[in-house]
Amino acid sequence: MRELLLELCRLHGVSGFEDAVRDVIRAYAKPYADRIEEDPAGNLMVYKKGTVGAKTVMVSAHMDEVGFLITGIQADGTLRFAPVGGIVHKILPAMRVAVGERALPGVISMPPPHKGRDKLLKPGDLVIDIGAGTQAAAEKLTYPGDFAAFAGDPVFFGDGILKAKALDDRLGCAILLMLLRETFACNVWYVFTVQEEIGSGAMTAAHRLKPDLGLVIECTTAADLPFVKGALRTCSFGAGAVIPTADAGTLYHPALVAAAREAAEKAGIPWQDKWTIAGGTDAKAISQSGYGVPMVAISAPGRYLHAPVSCVKWSDAEAVCGAARAFLHTLHGKRDE
């Protein structure tokens, strides 16, 4: 799974521009899929028939990542931009970015350190510099409506820690592709969704598929840093898969949560709850589709999410994959009456 995840994290797939990610995922999924569909919203849906095949589960992860939208080109060739998704403004100055499908190298501007160093700069105070000296030169390279993504290669460091952009949620995508290689008793739709970071494309997929239940695989915030106290840490880095009772968007189905936790324990996989009601996933949109879908989530604790330096401990990634596999094996195919 390591090399697969590294490849997925290198791809640029800002919300609304998931094409490159979708193409690679489709290629990896094709040898193991019974059927592959794509809906008009751009969600990629991969079907694997179960050995019993009565109950249908939607297992989802989102393909998109936070990034930027180019909103204009200045006379000096620099680019105006707006964030796509939740990005903390204070990390923007001097950030490296890649612009458009050609991944043009760029950098977000920064005032000289002797002037305005304490001012909190907003996107409207900054520009992206792609080295074009004029508006005409820049227009040959990009256009308003193009995207810019975080730049930087994924690397492993320290005690089995992966640093990369887009771990939220390419980690989930990689896990879905690993699970797809197996056959479970239940039917499974592996759904790679679009635009989760700005809302959700998952509702259209769930409305189309009408699953009996849903499982979201995600990367969730671990704020376990020295200056963050108690429950505000949310969950712990290195303590295993997060199987939450609730988050800011969803109260997960109690019976499914209990079943997922029990399956993890029986498989010897460490798990933890969230200590705060924070964050959100595609589960909200999926649960509200059609006549309603009972949901459960299994997530990896991640540090510095929505930044170029997001981090996940590899043992947690393996725990999420193992916990999801164990949970799916408990669904023996019998549809609840």
Q: Per-domain residue ranges for the chain?
A: 2-65+165-330, 67-150
> How large is the C-alpha radius of gyration of the chain?
20
Answer yes or no: CATH 2.40.30.40 is held by domain 67-150.
yes
Residues 15 and 28 sit within 8 Å (Cβ to Cβ) = no
Angle at the Cα of 293 (from 221 to 214), degrees rounded to 5?
50
Confidence at residue 171, expressed as pLDDT on a 0 to 100 scale: 97
Confidence at residue 236, expressed as pLDDT on a 0 to 100 scale: 87
Confidence at residue 333, expressed as pLDDT on a 0 to 100 scale: 63
The residues, any chain, with a CB within 8 Å of residue 219's CB and separated by 6 or more, are 167, 168, 169, 171, 172, 299, 300, 302, 305, 310, 312
> 170: which 2 tokens?
């390419």
Q: Looking at the whole model, is its pTM more than 0.85?
A: yes
Confidence at residue 188, expressed as pLDDT on a 0 to 100 scale: 97
Give pLDDT < 70 ranges for the chain. Answer: 114-118, 333-337
118-158 pLDDT, tens digit each: 678 889 899 999 999 999 999 999 999 999 999 999 999 99
Q: Peptide bond preceding 169: is omega within 30 degrees of 0, i.e. cis?
A: yes
User: What does the alpha-carbon distance between residue 223 and residue 236 come to, in Å, rounded to a whole number?
Assistant: 8
| DSSP 8-state secondary structure symbol assigned to residue 125 | G
The residue among 320, 236, 324 whose CA lies nearest residue 276 is 236
User: What does the alpha-carbon distance between residue 237 and residue 315 come to, in Å, rounded to a whole number?
Assistant: 10
The residue among 286, 273, 281 whose CA lies nearest residue 213 is 286
The listed CATH number (3.40.50.300, 3.40.630.10, 1.10.357.10, 3.10.20.30) that belongs to domain 2-65+165-330: 3.40.630.10
Confidence at residue 14, expressed as pLDDT on a 0 to 100 scale: 97
Phi-psi region of 16 (alpha: psi -120 to 50; beta: other; left: phi over 0): left
Catalytic residues: 196
The residue among 225, 39, 73 whose CA lies nearest residue 146 is 73
